[in-house]
Amino acid sequence: MSSVVPIESPGTDTDLARRPRRRGTLLVVDDEEGPRKSLAVIFKDEYDILMADNGPHAIELAQKHDIDVAILDIRMAGMSGIEVLERLKYVNPHIEVVMMTAFETTDTMRQAMRLRASDYINKPFDISTMRAAVANAMQRRTLESEINDNAEKLQELMAELQNQKIEEQIANTRGEIYASILHDINGPLTVISGFVQLMNQRFSNATRLEKEDLEFIKDRLKIINRQVTNCIEISRRYLSFLRRQTDEIPRVSINQLLTDLKHLINVHPSVQQNTFAVQPVAEDIGARMNGTDVIQILLNLTVNAFQCTSTPHHVEITGEVLHEPLDLTQFKDGPETRFLNVEGMANAAPLLKLSVRDNGPGIPADVLPRIFQPYFTTKGPRQGTGLGLNIVQRLVKEGKGALHLQTAPGRGTTFTVYLPAARLR
């Protein structure tokens, strides 16, 4: 009958599973009681001991407990030791296994080594030899566990650093957008300030107002009122971007966002000798996405287009409204195309289709599969961080949109963004 041997006090399988593990766990599997008890006595002061007299119970214990090393007898009634070894490795590939038998054959040794047994001991075993074999197996298990833990921690650290880099890049781009907002507001404020000063100079010492003075004031107040309205609209527009959720009806049109984007790009250092054009959308509509994120997606794609070559070239942004869902079956990844976020896209009309097109050299086939990876860049160290397209991918996914890339050597590249849209309020 199968059993679990307690170390210091009686306990069940469940008790052992719940106890905090302070030392390695050793599983002994043998259909003979004598060898099982002998091994328990040898190792009880060093490890937590689990024992089973057949293969099925050994597999059951491996499923319930985190076992470090197992000692298996090869010849057992029912399931053989080789079969148990194979099943244990299936349950937990990291378990180290020491095989023992009184009937050693070349074939069984070969099978055991193929299944990655760590050692092979003959019965009757020598205590020092068995101790050494188990100690070596336990050390290998411990080292492997530490390596895996360190690898996981390293992956977590790299992911955290990557997220921080992306967030920093997003913050930097949003800083540029908000700087543009301040620039836009500064214009109306300058006009207001100038007219207020002008009226103050003209009427500060006046004791009475003539008819022409009243007309002057009315005219200047109309101009001031228009500029105040401009400031309020700019403020409201961008505050609404921060406050609303993606499922709310948009307040700001895509054409207004394209106008803001054009102002931002006109002063961007990446423009250099390149030409640039923005075509308004014929049917004005709003995107169901944070407005600053829409601008950031288009800005990153446009800057990427500017930087595709040092030779002067043309970049153009166009858009249209789609009144039917996309036929996703027509989009196939190939050597010159990529379609991202098929599964996560909210493919329901109306959809906003925005394209950023350049007539540059195109993207080489060996580079295309990697362009959305973080930190991947073909540009010089001063031209980019390799995060721009990765941020685009992330924002498109968060907005339940999709991204279609088409490129051809010598003919240029087109990035097309599909976003959920809604009529303006």
CATH number at residue 76: 3.40.50.2300
Cα separation, 152 vs 169, in Å, equals 26
175 lies in the same domain as 44: no
Average pLDDT over residues 59-84: 86
Q: Cβ-count burial of 165 within 10 angstroms (0-12 exposed, 13-18 middle, 19+ buried)?
A: middle
Q: Is residue 37 part of a domain?
A: yes
268 lies in the same domain as 386: yes
CA–CA–CA angle 261, 358, 181 (5° rounding): 10
Peptide bond just before 364 cis, omega within 30 deg: no
Residue 295 has pLDDT above 60, yes or no: yes
Question: Which among 145, 81, 144, 70 is positioned nearest to 108, based on CA atoms?
Answer: 81
205 lies in the same domain as 331: no
The one-character DSSP state at 102 is S
Q: Is residue 65 part of a domain?
A: yes
Q: What is the pLDDT of residue 357?
A: 96
Q: Is residue 248 part of a domain?
A: no
225 lies in the same domain as 279: no
Mean pLDDT is highest, among 18-32, 112-126, 131-145, 332-346, for 332-346
| Average predicted confidence (pLDDT) for the chain | 79
Answer with the one of 200, 217, 243 that is the final residue of a domain.
243
Q: Is residue 22 part of a domain?
A: yes
211 lies in the same domain as 260: no
96 lies in the same domain as 58: yes
Q: Is residue 132 part of a domain?
A: no
Q: Per the confidence metrics, is the pTM higher than 0.85? A: no
Task: Say which residue, 170 or 215, is predicted with more confidence.
Answer: 215
Pick the range with the lowest mean pLDDT from 83-92, 303-312, 314-323, 377-386: 377-386
111 lies in the same domain as 179: no
Which element (helix H / strand E) includes 100?
A: strand 96-101
**Total domains in the fold of the chain:** 3
305 lies in the same domain as 418: yes
**Band (389; pLDDT cuts 50, 70, 90):** confident
Question: Which range of residues forms the domain containing residue 188?
Answer: 160-243
